[in-house]
Structure formats: C-alpha cells, structure tokens
Structure 1
Amino acid sequence: MNEDAIRADIVRWGKSFFERGLTAGSSGNISARVEDGFITTPTNSCLGFLKPERLSKLDVEGNHISGDPPTKEIPLHFAFYEGRQCGAVIHLHSTYATALSCLSDIDRRDALPPITPYVVMRVGKVPLVPYTRPGSTAIKPLVASIVANSSAALLENHGPVVSGLTVEAAAFAIEELEEAAKLALLTRGMQVRHLPPEAVADLDATFKLR
C-alpha cells in the first residue's frame, strides 16, 4: 500500500473511532510504517478531524521531517515497531479498556481473560504495563519486555494499545479488545465460563497471532 493510501486509512479509521465514541477530544493516536519511515497522527489532534496532508511524517530513526508535530506517544509506538514485525500501532482511550486498566486486581500477565474466540484470535494475551507519564521514554523498556509474545497491551490507568500488520488489522484488534473488556466488566463477579486451555491453544495454532 502506498503512502497516500496509508494516510487515507489513518484519517478514515480516526474519524470512525471518534464518531463511535472510542476516543474523545484530542486523545488517541495512530501510526503506520511506510517505505521510508512512519506516518503518525499529530500531537493534540482530534482523530475525528484529521487531514491527510497534515499528518506527521518521521524518518526511520523517528525524526520529524514533515507535516504537523507528531504525537507525544512516539516512544510507545516505536517500542512496538522495534520489538515486533508490525505495520501499524493504535492507542485509544476507549471507555471499557481504560476502565479495565484502572482495576487493581486484574491479572497483570493477561488482563483480558479468554471469554470469546475472537479476543484470542485477534488480540491474544494483553499484559498490563506499569504506569508511566504519557509520552515518557520510560515506556520503551516496559513494552520491550512484553512485545515478543504480545501484540497488544493495557497501559496502567491509561488505556489500550495494539499493533497489527496494517492500520485496518490494528483497528479490528483494538475494537475487539474494547468489546472483550466490556464483556469482562459486565460479567465481573459472575460465574464466567472461559475458553478452556486446549481451545486457546487450538486458536493460537490455527491463527498464529503471536
């Protein structure tokens, strides 16, 4: 996919997220790998009103070369690009996943239990990454410690982040994460039937997300 198409994808998905209430105000950020670097949403921009020509462009080292100034969450995005073979990274402040990230008693190794096959197929394990100030480079080693086995994470008291081969794949995954978080919170305190380990292993082997 060429750069113009990737820019259009970022704008399209940003608008969709905003209009469906998956991110509010100037929260959330999207990035994608292009042949000679990366395209990201600008800092303090609303995902509902992005312009393709104003998206930020970075070189392969992360230096800003054109467009508006990039999101401050570049260290978070680059931690995924440096640790996984991925083409896009999306970070939102979606309600249910963010609420889940604020709970003190969730499993830090995998904050989302295997409630449905699709959360296993599209998201996989979702570790909880310790809190850092938004935009801090301190996030990089924390993400580096989990990305080999996880394409997504919950940032403590902050929200979800997901990587994917394309913007669309990452979008589908972060939407699935949000829905699974909603189910996890709605069924909290109930007797929930999770997928058994053999079903999770079968999904892992079949879809090879990790």
Structure 2
Amino acid sequence: MIESALREQICTLGQSLFDRGLTMGSSGNISLRLDEGWLMTPTNACLGRLDPARLTRLDAEGRHVDGDAPTKEQFLHWAMYAERPQSGAIVHLHSTHSVAVSCLPDVDPHNCIPPLTAYYVMRVGTLPLVAYHEPGDPAIADAVRGLAGKHAAVLLANHGPIVAGKNLDAAVYATEELEETAKLHLLLHGRNPRTLTEAQVASLQNTFGSP
C-alpha cells in the first residue's frame, strides 16, 4: 500500500475509534511501520480529527523527519517495534474498560484478563501488566521492551493498553477485542466465571498461532 493510502487509513481508523468512544480528547496514539521509518499520530492530536498531511514521520532511528511534532509517547511504540519485527502497526489507547482493569488491586500482573473467549486468546493472547510510571517517563520503554518479545499487547497500570499487530487493521481489531473482553471481565469480576481451560487455550494457539 502506498504511503498516501496508509496515511488515510490511520485517519479513518483513528476517527472510528474516537467516534465509538474508545479514545477521548487528545489521548491515544497510532503508529504504522514503513519500509524506512514509521508514521505516527502527532502530539496533542485528537484521533477523531486527524489530517493525513500532518501525521508525524520518523526515520528508522526514531528521529522526526516530517509533519507535526511526535507524541511524547513515541518511545512506547519504538520499544514494541524493536522487539517485534513481525509487527507493522501499534495502537495505544486510554480506553475506559481496559484502564479500569489496570486499576484493579487484585489483577494478575502476568495476565491481567483471563481467557474468557476464543477470540481474545487468538487476537490478544496473554496481557501482562507494566508497573505505573508517569506519562512520558522513558523508563516505561525498558519495561515494555522486556515484555514485547513474547506479548503482542501489554497493559500500563493506571494508564491503558499498547497493542501491536501485523498491520493496522489487525492492531485495531485486537485493541477492540481487548476492550470488549475487559468489559466482560469487569461484568463478571467476583463471580467466578468459567474460563477456557489450558487445553482449550493450547488448541487455539496450535491452530491459529500466537498474536
């Protein structure tokens, strides 16, 4: 896909996420890997009102090349890409239900949401928790980098999810699946729900692979 079409895709999907309440204000950011460098939504940009011509362009080393200034959270994306050469796009949101899960005192830091559905396992897999850091703290990158090699998605405590996919559609679909499963988890919290067994999860992984 040519770069102009990729720019339009970022704006279209960003508006879709915003219109459905999965992000608000100027929160959240989207990036997409190019042959040389990557495109990213700029700092203080509303995902519902993106301009394709003003998207940030970064080179392969993460240096600002063109467009508006990059978000201060660009290093989160950089850390994920560095560990996931198979990933072509990343979505980071402050989506309500996922953030709510990240605030629970009894969340399992190794896997914040149990395997409630097959599609959650197929699109997200396991979701580790990254300890709380202030927004913009470069130390988050080290924490994310330590998990990204084995996980397509991580959850930042009291902040929100970072989700990688082989392309932007896949990253958005996985982010949506995560948010809906977080909602289910909160609805079922404390009710001892039936989850998929280890054998059922393993079967899904053998059939469909890891996200």
Equivalent-residue separation in structure 2 for 1:164 and 1:150 (angstroms) = 11
Deviation at 1:133, TM superposition (A): 1.6
User: How far, CA to CA, are the matches of 2:123 and 2:109 in structure 1?
Assistant: 19
Letter in 2 for 1:196: T
* Cα distance in 1 for residues equivalent to 2:110 and 2:143: 13
How far residue 136 of structure 1 moved from its aligned partner, in angstroms, is 1.9
* Sequence identity percentage: 52
Name the structure 1 match of 2:173: 172
Name the residue aligned to 2:200.
Answer: 199
Residue 120 of structure 1: aligned partner: 121
Aligned to 1:160: 161
Q: What is the aligned partner in structure 1 of residue 73 from structure 2?
A: 73
Q: State the secondary structure of the residue aligned to 1:57.
A: strand
1:36 aligns with 2:36: yes
Q: Which runs of 4+ in 1 moved over 6 A?
A: none
Q: Distance in 2 between matches of 1:135 and 1:162?
A: 18
Residue deviations 1:56-82 (CA, integer Å, cap 9, x gap): 000000000100001111110011000
Query: What is the 5 A alignment of 1:1-210?
Result: 1-84=1-84, 85-210=86-211
| Distance in 1 (alpha carbons) for counterparts of 2:55 and 2:4 | 11
Per-residue CA deviations over 1:8-31 (Å, capped at 9, x if unaligned) read 111011000100000000000000
Quote the offset at 1:36 in angstroms: 1.5
Distance in 1 (CA, whole Å) between partners of 2:162 and 2:144 is 10
The one-letter code of the counterpart of 2:193 is V
Answer whether contact 1:75 1:136 (CA < 8 A) is retained. no
- Alpha carbons 1:76, 1:135 under 8 Å: kept: no
Deviation at 1:141, TM superposition (A): 1.3
Preserved CA contact (<8 Å) 1:2 1:34: no
The SS at the match of 1:21 is coil
Q: 3-state SS of the aligned residue for 1:163? A: strand
Amino acid at match of 2:204: L
* In structure 1, C-alpha distance between the alignment counterparts of 2:136 and 2:39, rounded to whole Å: 17
Residues 84-114 of structure 1: CA deviation (Å, up to 9, x unaligned): 1210010001110010011111000000100
Contact 1:128 1:155 in 2 (8 A): yes
**Paired residues, number:** 210
**TM-score with structure 2 length normalisation?**
0.98
Residue 189 (structure 1) shift: 1.0
Kept after mapping to 2: 8 A contact 1:31/1:77 = yes
Deviation for aligned residue 1:148: 1.6
**TM-score normalised according to structure 1 size:** 0.98
More displaced 10-residue stretch of structure 1: 118-127 or 140-149: 140-149
1:172 positional shift: 0.0
Point out where structure 1 has 5 or more consecutive residues left out of the alignment: none
Inter-partner Cα distance in structure 1 for 2:78 and 2:192: 39
Question: For 2:148, what is the secondary structure of its paired residue?
Answer: coil
